[in-house]
């Protein structure tokens, strides 16, 4: 991911407590022969004692791997569940005979990780590199690489247990094959009004009206500051080249200066010197107005494979120098550092697991550890569970 953008409020607009953060790392290099999955999943706990690490200090995965190698898949958090959506068979990415693209969907209950990944209802069409997010308890999936068939977007209602096409009137312009960010706006009565999506290649901001069911080009000059998403109070936040930028979704314009408040605290990656550079990163809203930026760094020495940094912050609008001017100012909540075994940080999701339930997570972690110890003892005696 070249950059990260947050349109805060995604998936947790009514949540009082902060959600639980999980992130996944591509692990192909460290995969044993015959093992499935492409990604390992890790958790970010407020209480560091809940994090399980090996003897070398590497963070250990919290879930088993998927039964399929769903490369270039999307993932979202819905309630206590994590969904992994679409993707393709990694071995067929450059295959001359064609790519094997999946419509498969899997989910795991983060409260019961030992139960593993379960298959959920499949997408209407196979999708590689889709963009997915949660709004009002439903999963929205937009776009697809290498598959231009309808529908361009579909919605999953967990109450009905099925996917349905997003109702769309004919668009006078082609919709992009890749989306890298989104936002949702509500009317004064709290009803869904607009869905906004950022084209990865076009660098334009598109708007979908839930009333007319039509797409329009809201801002053709949105520009290069784009990425993955969340949203808060009609303000979009974008991390790019060592800075956090803010975009007003009502006025459809960027704030003239980056978000301040990060200066001198060493909680963001350093700004590139000779070119625009942003590490693999993701920016999400975890609830209660708090944003979380995760980014990775791959050191040049052998012992540590991938360093993961996590900065939690909130943003307030402070009066500027000119009359009526507002300046976005960040307040740092926490800063954490982890090391994991993997190749790249892919993305992170937030589940609405209240903080009061994290004690259950600690019990579950102990249970997982005891099962691992039992497995090791069984192997010593040449047995299998």
Q: CA-CA distances (angstroms) from residue 352 to 6, 192, 364, 377? A: 17, 21, 17, 36
Give domain status of residue 366, yes or no. no
> Average pLDDT, stretch 218-226?
81
More confident residue, 330 or 4: 330
Give domain status of residue 297, yes or no. yes
pLDDT of residue 239: 86
> Average pLDDT, stretch 346-351?
91
Of 31-35, 39-43, 225-229, 378-382, minimum mean pLDDT range:
378-382
On the question of pLDDT at 135 being above 60, the answer is yes
Question: Which range of residues forms the domain containing residue 137?
Answer: 19-355
Is-cis flag, bond preceding 13, omega within 30? no
CA atoms of 359 and 223, how far apart (whole Å)? 44
C-alpha 360: how far from chain center? 24
Give domain status of residue 33, yes or no. yes
On the question of pLDDT at 7 being above 80, the answer is no
pLDDT of residue 10: 46
C-alpha 210: how far from chain center? 24
Give domain status of residue 86, yes or no. yes
Q: What is the pTM of this model?
A: 0.85
More confident residue, 209 or 371: 209
pLDDT digits (tens, 9 = 90+) for 277-303: 567 889 999 988 899 999 988 776 555
Q: Show the CA angle centred on residue 311, arms to residues 23 and 197, nearest 5°.
A: 65
pLDDT of residue 73: 94
Give domain status of residue 142, yes or no. yes
Structural Rg of the chain based on CA atoms: 21
The secondary element (H helix, E strand) that includes residue 247 is: strand 243-248
Place of tokens 């953060």: 21
Please spell the DSSP secondary structure of 108-129, one letter per residue: EETT-GGG--EEEPPPSS--BS
pLDDT of residue 300: 63
Tell me the CATH number at 323: 2.120.10.80
Sign for the pseudo-dihedral over CA of 253, 246, 308, 351: negative
Give domain status of residue 365, yes or no. no
Sign for the pseudo-dihedral over CA of 173, 174, 176, 181: positive
- Confidence category of residue 363, pLDDT binned at 50, 70, 90: very low
Number of helices (H) and strands (E) in the chain: give both, helices first.
1, 25
Q: Which residues contact 53 (CB under 8 A, 6 or more apart)?
A: 59, 60
On the question of pLDDT at 104 being above 70, the answer is yes
> Average pLDDT, stretch 104-128?
95
Give domain status of residue 381, yes or no. no
Tally of structural domains, the chain = 1
On the question of pLDDT at 1 being above 90, the answer is no
Give domain status of residue 170, yes or no. yes
């Amino acid at each position: 991911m070249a950059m990260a953008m947050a349109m805060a409020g995604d998936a947790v607009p009514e949540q009082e407590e902060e959600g639980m953060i999980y992130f996944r790392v591509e692990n192909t290099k460290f995969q044993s022969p015959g093992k499935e999955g492409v990604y390992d999943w890790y958790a970010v706990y407020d209480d560091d004692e809940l994090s399980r690490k090996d003897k070398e200090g590497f963070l250990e995965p919290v879930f088993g791997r998927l039964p399929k190698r769903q490369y270039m898949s999307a993932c979202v958090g819905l309630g206590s569940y994590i969904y992994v959506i679409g993707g393709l068979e990694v071995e067929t990415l450059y295959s001359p005979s064609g790519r094997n693209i999946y419509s498969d969907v899997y989910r795991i209950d983060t409260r019961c990780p030992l139960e593993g990944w379960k298959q959920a209802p499949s997408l209407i069409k196979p999708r590689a590199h889709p963009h997915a997010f949660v709004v009002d308890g439903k999963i929205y999936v937009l776009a697809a690489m290498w598959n231009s068939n309808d529908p361009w977007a579909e919605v999953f209602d967990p109450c009905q247990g099925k996917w349905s096409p997003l109702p769309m009137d004919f668009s006078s312009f082609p919709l992009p094959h890749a989306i890298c960010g989104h936002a949702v706006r509500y009317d004064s009565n709290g009803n869904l009004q607009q869905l906004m999506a950022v084209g990865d290649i076009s660098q334009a901001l598109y708007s979908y009206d839930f009333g007319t069911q039509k797409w329009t080009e809201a801002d053709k000059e949105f520009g290069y500051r784009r990425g993955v998403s969340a949203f808060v109070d009609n303000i979009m936040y974008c991390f790019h080249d060592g800075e956090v930028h803010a975009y007003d979704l009502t006025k459809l314009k960027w704030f003239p200066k980056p978000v301040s408040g990060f200066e001198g605290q060493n909680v963001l990656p350093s700004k590139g010197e000779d070119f625009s550079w942003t590490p693999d990163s993701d920016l999400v809203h975890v609830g209660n107005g708090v944003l979380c930026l995760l980014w990775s760094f791959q050191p040049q020495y052998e012992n540590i494979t991938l360093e993961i940094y996590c900065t939690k912050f909130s943003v307030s609008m402070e009066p500027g120098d000119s009359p009526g001017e507002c300046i976005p100012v960040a307040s740092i909540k926490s800063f954490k550092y982890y090391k994991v075994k993997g190749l790249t940080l892919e993305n992170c999701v937030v589940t609405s697991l209240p903080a009061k339930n994290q004690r259950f997570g600690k019990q579950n972690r102990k249970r997982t550890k005891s099962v691992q110890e039992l497995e090791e003892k069984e192997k010593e005696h040449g047995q299998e569970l």
